[in-house]
Amino acid sequence: MDKDFTLLEKNIGIKFKDIKLLNQALVHRSYLNENTAFKLDNNERLEFLGDAVLELVVTQHLYKNYSNPEGDLTNWRSALVNTNMLSKQAKALDYDSFLYLSRGEAKDTGKARDVILANAFEAVIGAIYLDQGWDVAKDFIERKIIAELKKILDEKLYIDPKSRLQEEIQEKLKVTPTYQVLKEWGPDHARKFKIGVYLEDKLLGEGEGDSKQEAQVNAAKNALEREEWKK
């Protein structure tokens, strides 16, 4: 435990009674494979607990504050607790600097790292709950996650990018965007795809992914950011 976790305590705004809980929340399973003498367990049990606390706090907030039907609330909750949101918040709090990772995992900065960060975010919630109780854990979730709800609702981020792009273009131009594979590479078991989304012959955005579906979603996301169809 050679990391100064007092810096992380400052980032999250909580002083732990048992700093080992916060330490453990950042221990990835891969680290223990290379450091068998390490005195703490991995963070998976804390993640399991934190996931339940996070979901209950968010669900309770949505239920108490909105009279929308279940389908709306489910979509909003998903947008608040998905990997993208949790990893974004983990990065903002600099969890990256405190993760215990194997040498191999430490080199990965892509989607796999986002999953690790999202899991660590949930594990930290579990650690806060055990160390500080429900009210402090709830306050942390409200400050870091529920605070994003207004933006999610205002920008309709609870709708997946492909649906949002199609909805906005059809509303403005009465046409439907199409997707084309621009490039694919890699072995059959690890294929990569680059896809473009078009409005007739005009390229609106591009995206890459491990599947055509993922590349299409990323292309739609890129198109929403670029807003080429509005020009």
Task: Give the span between the Cα atoms of 109 and 65, in whole angstroms.
Answer: 37
Number of C-alpha atoms within 13 angstroms, CB side, residue 168? Answer: 21
Q: What is the DSSP letter of 207?
A: E
- Cα–Cα distance for residue pair 198/9, rounded to 1 Å: 47
CA pair distance 226, 231, nearest whole angstrom: 10
Among the listed residues 47, 51, 131, 168, the single catalytic one is 51
Task: Establish whether 122 is a catalytic residue.
Answer: yes
For residue 105, indicate whether it is catalytic.
Answer: no
Run of H or E residues at 203: strand 202-209
d(CA 209, CA 229): 23
- Write the DSSP symbol of residue 36: T
Q: Which of 47, 105, 122, 168 is catalytic?
A: 122
Please identify every residue annotated as catalytic.
51, 122
